[in-house]
Structure formats: structure tokens, C-alpha cells
Amino acid sequence: MRKKLVAGNWKMHGSLAENAALLAALKPALEGIKAVVCVPFPYLAQAQAALAGSSIAWGAQNLSEQSKGAFTGEVSASMLLDFGCQYVIVGHSERRSLYGESDELVASKYVAAQAAGLTPILCVGESLDERESGVTEAVVARQLDAVIKLAGVGSLAKAIVAYEPVWAIGTGKTASPEQAQAVHAFIRSKIAALDADIAKQLVIQYGGSVKAANAAELMAQPDIDGGLIGGASLVADEFVAICRAAAK
């Protein structure tokens, strides 16, 4: 039985004071419920200090594909480990579209994360144009194939996949539970064709305007195993309600 997992993506939001209040609210409310917060790099130490010993894990939103060296401004997987990270988001659509990260670069970051012992949360998903042109499955397959080619299907035993339709991220337009389920089932069947056991245990999160009000319906879908939550992860009551809906 797959255990659902909800991760928050704070994006480039927060301050020491705001984070302290948010983490202080999340900690008791999520006692016993496994969840993750992916915070901006400068706040990893704060998350580590505030969340150590709790059921909430923490992680980052990006990493370098390089392990060390003259790469000004980059952050390596081992640096994330120094701050107790267990998870790191790779291939978020904002990284792909705003910072030009190719499928191949995303795959290299995924490999770097796993090589250090971090669990990558690999984001895949189509744009509105791509959905309207009927190539959703082809796009998601291409994004997954880049990772499978570099790291092998076996690597998915130690990864999370997040299906995030780009048109639903931060737009308030959630994919319907049926639309999301259809793509999740596609992802699982694609992996199953290569390795049935890995497909069965793969956690596939949905992300895109998830909030307390629509979480239960999405989490009830058979192939949705949790969520990657942007905006609503910054509001304690919303994030807690989503995590509780997933834990039911």
C-alpha cells in the first residue's frame, strides 16, 4: 500500500519571522502526519532547527547537477544534506520554463540528488498549448524518459514523481480529479511496462492549485498519492487540511 505524502513548495516566499510563525503552527497540527516543506535555500537551517524531531521533513526546491567547484551561485546535493534535507524538487515547471532547464539537465539534477541520498521530487507536466494540442501524454513520457534513460527505471524506487500541469500551477485552475487521475494512471502504466513492482509502489503527487477545498476529491483518486502544494502551503490551516485529507 502506497502511503500518501504531501509536500509544500514555498517558492521564493517567506522571511525568518514569517517562516517561524508558519513552522510553529504546522508542527503541532501535523504531529504524526508525515509531510515535507521545500523552503528557499537561506531558510534550510531555520527549517532544520524548527522541525528536527517532528514528523515534518524539509527539503529544497532546486540543486546543482555538479558536486562542487567553480559554479558561482549553485548549491550542491551534499550542501543540502548538511542541512538535513531529505527531499529536493527537480524539474519544477518554473525551472524548466523560466530558467531553461532541459529534460537532460533535469535528469542530471535527479541523478545528483539520488547519488547523495536525497529523494528527488521529479516534476512533469504539460503546458496549456500542449494539452490543447493533445500531446499531454507525449510530453510527460518525454520528461520521464529523459530520467529513465540516464538513471534507469530502478531509480524510481527512490523518487517521487509530481504531475503538475503547467496551466494549473498558481492559476487557481485545478485539473479535475478525472483529468489528474487519467495522467497519473498513464504515468503508472508507462512505468509498469518497464517494472511492475516499481510502478505499484511509486508515489505520484498531483500539483496545481490544490487547496483545502479540493484536496479530498483529488486525494480520493486511486493513482493520486499526495500533492505538491505551492500557494496553499504558505497558509498553515490550508496546508494542514490538505495533509489531513491525504492522510485519511
Give catalytic residue positions.
92, 164
Q: Which of 228, 240, 241, 246 binds ligand PEP (CB under 6 A)?
A: 228
SS3 state of residue 89: strand
Q: Which of 64, 155, 205, 209 binds ligand PEP (CB under 6 A)?
A: 209
**5-9 and 226-229: which strand pairing?**
parallel
| Binding pattern for the stretch 166-205 against ligand PEP, x by CB under 6 A and - elsewhere | ---xx-----------------------------------
By CB under 6 A, is residue 213 in contact with ligand PEP? no
Q: What is d(CA 245, CA 216) in angstroms, rounded to the nearest whole number?
A: 5
The closest residue (CB) to ligand PEP is 230
3-state SS of 188-223?
A: HHHHHCCCHHHHHHCEEEECCCCCHHHHHHHHCCCC
Give the interface size with ligand PEP as a residue count (CB under 6 A).
14
Contact 123, 89 (CB under 8 A): yes
By CB under 6 A, is residue 231 in contact with ligand PEP? yes
Nearest approach, Cβ of residue 117 and ligand PEP (Å): 23
Q: What is d(CA 65, CA 196) in angstroms, rounded to the nearest whole number?
A: 29
Residues in touch with ligand PEP (CB under 6 A): 9, 11, 164, 169-170, 207-210, 228-232
